[in-house]
A and B are shown apart, each in its own frame.
Chain A
Amino acid sequence: MTRHLVIELCGRLADYAPQQINLDIPQAGISVAHLKARIAHDYPALATELQRPGVRLCVDETIVTDAHIVKVGATVAIFPIVSGG
């Protein structure tokens, strides 16, 4: 059974896909590494950008590693490298 996840694209990433993209993920959740692979598959224009240095995933306002499991209902965003202030 899958559930719906909304992912916000920050900064320049939103130039390559809608600012909010939607994915169906397993009820048990999905690792960040798999999530990025799914996004690259469903949105090919993002694939190269997702591999650039400094790309990070933010889940519930916390930066997480590739091993983190994203659960249904989480607030998810993808950060490209920050511009700084």
Chain B
Amino acid sequence: MSQDVVILAQDAIDPAATLNDFIAHCTDSDGAIVHFIGLARGTNHQGHPVSALVLEHYRGVTLASMQNIAAAARERFTLSQLMIVHRTGAIMPQEPIVLVAAASAHRRAAFEAADYMMDRLKTEAVFWKYELHPGSTIKHWIEPTSRDTDDSQRWQKD
């Protein structure tokens, strides 16, 4: 029986193992699986090298914010199952930050659900994140961009 998975991961995400587990729970009614993996970049938007991306969370509030987004996707799209796995803590360049997946009978719902979950995670998930640059301990805090906000708000027009 399929069930939604929402995980706040303290340790590195293994995308292959995580996806294999998701696929193993699909049913013979599923005709589509869409997944997205967000990676930590080694260079930021300004071209500065990044030695680590650090995410902070708060108690059960962060996981609850992710669960709320998953529940909203479940309500909005016809899915058989969905998954959100999101890191917290220090993440090295090229390591996965987040993995979302959606399975449905037809591809449109799966594509849109994955897109929806990522847009909402980018602006509403309760994380605070900062970059560390090589040779420095200064925290460069990150806030949602206008692009992130626009991407999330477009779902409100439907």
Measured CB to CB, the residues of A under 8 A from B are 8, 10-12, 15, 58, 61, 75, 77, 79-85
Contact = CB atoms under 8 A, between A and B. Distances in A.
Nearest to A15: B139
Contacts of A15: 139
Given A10-B56, A58-B58, A61-B61, A85 B139 contact: no
A15 B138 CA distance: 10
Contacts of B97: 85
B39 to A, nearest CB: 13
A30 B48 CA distance: 45
Interface stretch (B10-18, B25-33, B108-116, B124-132): B124-132
B135 interface: no
A-B residue pairs, 4 tightest by C-beta: A11-B128, A85-B125, A85-B121, A83-B129
Main SS at interface, chain A: loop
Interface residues of B, number: 28
B87 to A, nearest CB: 9
Given A61-B61, A85-B97, A80 B128 contact: yes
Contacts, number: 60
A39 to B, nearest CB: 17
B91 to A, nearest CB: 11
B128 A12 contact: yes
Given A12-B141, A79-B126, A84 B121 contact: yes
16 contacts: A10-B56, A11-B56, A11-B141, A12-B139, A61-B64, A75-B59, A77-B59, A82-B123, A82-B124, A82-B125, A83-B142, A84-B125, A85-B66, A85-B97, A85-B98, A85-B125
Given A84-B144, A84-B148, A10 B122 contact: no
Nearest to B100: A85
A61 B60 contact: yes
Contact of A83 (B58, B60, B98, B143): B143
Interface string B49-72: 000000110111100101000000
B148 to A, nearest CB: 6
